[in-house]
Structures are given as C-alpha cells and as structure tokens.
A = this chain, B = another copy of it.
C-alpha cells in the first residue's frame, strides 16, 4: 500500500479520533486551559499513535467500539503532553511552523496544561482500558524520562556508544510507539504471543522512525522539516550518522569532529557543513539509512503470525511510510 493510498484510508479514522478528543476536551472549564490544550492537540498532527492502537486492535480481529477510540485518544494526549513539556524544556519558540504554546501562554501555564493532559491520558488508559494497559503506558513514560536523562548525559560526555544511542531511542520513541501497539492487542484480548509480536513491531518501527528523524536533521529540506539543518549537531546530540563517522574516520577527521563536539554550540553552528562532509565521507548517512531499513524489515517480520488483512496491509504500509517521509 503506497503512502497516498494509506493516508486516504486512515483519514476517516483520524477524523473519528479528533471528534472523540474534541468532545472529551469540552469538559475543561477554564477557557485559557482549554485554549492551550486545543493548541497542543489540534496542530496538524497525524495521530500516528492512536492509529497504531486502532490498527493493532483491528489486526487482533476486534471491532472498533466507541471505547476503542476513547482509549486511542490517550496515546495522542500523552504525546501532546510530552511535546508541551519538551518545548518548555527546550525553550522552543516554534512547533510545526507555528508559535509554540510556551511562546503564546508562558511556561507556567504550559507545564500545568501538560500535567492535565498527562493525567487525562493515564486515567483513560486505566479506566476505558485496564490495569495492564495502564502499566504499559506507565512504563513507556518512565522510559521516556530515563531516556531524556541518558541523552543529556551522552551529549555532555561526548559519549560514542551506539548502545546508548539506541537506549535513548528505545526510551524516547520506541516505548511511545510500541505502547499503543501493545495496548491495542491487550484491548482486543489477544494472546500473549500476539501482544509480544505487536510490541516488537512497534518497538522496531519507533526506532526506525527516530533513525530517519536523525537523518532528516542532517539531510532534510528545512522548508519541510521546519528545522535548521544540523540542529542536532549544533546541540551536541550523538546520533547514528555522527557515531558511525566517529567510529570509521581516520584519526585526523575523528579528532576534528571531537574538537567540534567539545566546542560551544555557537562554534558548532558555523561548522555544520564540515561535520556533514566528514560524516558523508565516512558513510555515516548510508549506514544510518541501512539501519532504518533493516529495522523496518524487522518490524514487518514481527507481523508474520497475523493473517493478511486490511489492518496488516496498513501496518506494513506505515513501515514504508517511515522510510520515505520527508518531515
């Protein structure tokens, strides 16, 4: 299933998820709180996480009840809550080309709005869902926080461990992508084996998604990604293309990269092209691309036990979408 066909099929589901969220959020009393959360949720997001949950439920041969959509919302809420807090933490002025919530309403209001969404997400997970689903979400969020701390450490120490890179990815993205897949299986009362298969699919898909993200940071079109080229390098983030180059480069190039990483962000900003050239010369980008492809292959292979139905076609299609996305 190609990208356009996939998006056309998913569009009505996205609209149903949006309708469920709009109805749920109407319960918010304070107009400012409502406005901030509305801004955080209805910002052109693709609803990837709720869609994954619904597709996983479908794949396990369960019908999509109104409760399935209510549970699916919780994954979008969790995602939006973490983006609200991320933007406060990163002092981000923009999100998807528009002013970030913290730019518009200030940090204090946005921290609280994130807390509101976080609470609502977990309440839905454990009430519309059940204790098992709540535990999955709880673990994913804990992993995410641990990964943020690990990432800060790897940046500070110029950590060249590919293992730590994938640990950060697993916590920051893998868990938040695998948890809706796993939750969909639990909600459908699937077998332990099916649940594990969907977890593995989501975990590998999430890692691939993030490896592609790290590639786009160096190679993407800023008018599409909405981010300056080389932003990660400027921030000293140790991502796969850079790690591979550090591992493969001869001493002089490696030392040049390490010197830049030890310099200030301002100094690095002027040397993004230098880093780009060294990474390219040492096949850093090719290596990361191949890794993303092998992860998508792994994700798709995890779905082998399931019968070939529409939901499976779409989940396999999402794998290809991850590899071809440009933003």
Partner-B contacts on A (CB < 8 A) = 28-30, 32-33, 82, 85, 88-89, 107-109, 111-116, 118-120, 122-123, 125-127, 130-131, 134-135, 137-139, 141-142, 145-146, 148-150, 152-153
Looking at the complex, which one of B111, B120, B138, B153 makes contact with A89 (CB distance below 8 Å)?
A: B111
| Known contacts A115-B145, A119-B122, then 12 further A-B pairs from the complex at CB < 8 Å, ordered by chain A residue | A32-B149, A33-B149, A85-B111, A85-B112, A89-B112, A111-B111, A116-B141, A119-B145, A120-B138, A123-B134, A127-B138, A134-B134
Residues on B with C-beta less than 8 A from A32 are: 149, 153
Looking at the complex, which one of B123, B127, B138 makes contact with A119 (CB distance below 8 Å)?
A: B138
Residue among A88, A119, A142 with max Cβ neighbours from chain B (10 Å): A119
CA distance A137 to B130 in the complex (A): 15
Looking at the complex, which one of B30, B85, B118, B137 makes contact with A150 (CB distance below 8 Å)?
A: B30
Residues on B with C-beta less than 8 A from A112 are: 85, 89, 145, 148-149
Residues on B with C-beta less than 8 A from A89 are: 107-108, 111-112
User: 16 A-B Cβ contacts within 8 A?
Assistant: A30-B146, A30-B149, A85-B111, A85-B112, A88-B107, A109-B152, A111-B111, A116-B145, A118-B118, A119-B145, A120-B138, A122-B134, A126-B126, A126-B131, A127-B138, A134-B134
Looking at the complex, which one of B33, B111, B123 makes contact with A138 (CB distance below 8 Å)?
A: B123
CA distance A126 to B121 in the complex (A): 13
Residues on B with C-beta less than 8 A from A145 are: 33, 112-113, 115-116, 119
Are A141 and B127 within 8 A (Cβ)? Answer: no
**Chain B's nearest CB lies how many Å from the CB of A190?**
20
**Chain B's nearest CB lies how many Å from the CB of A84?**
10
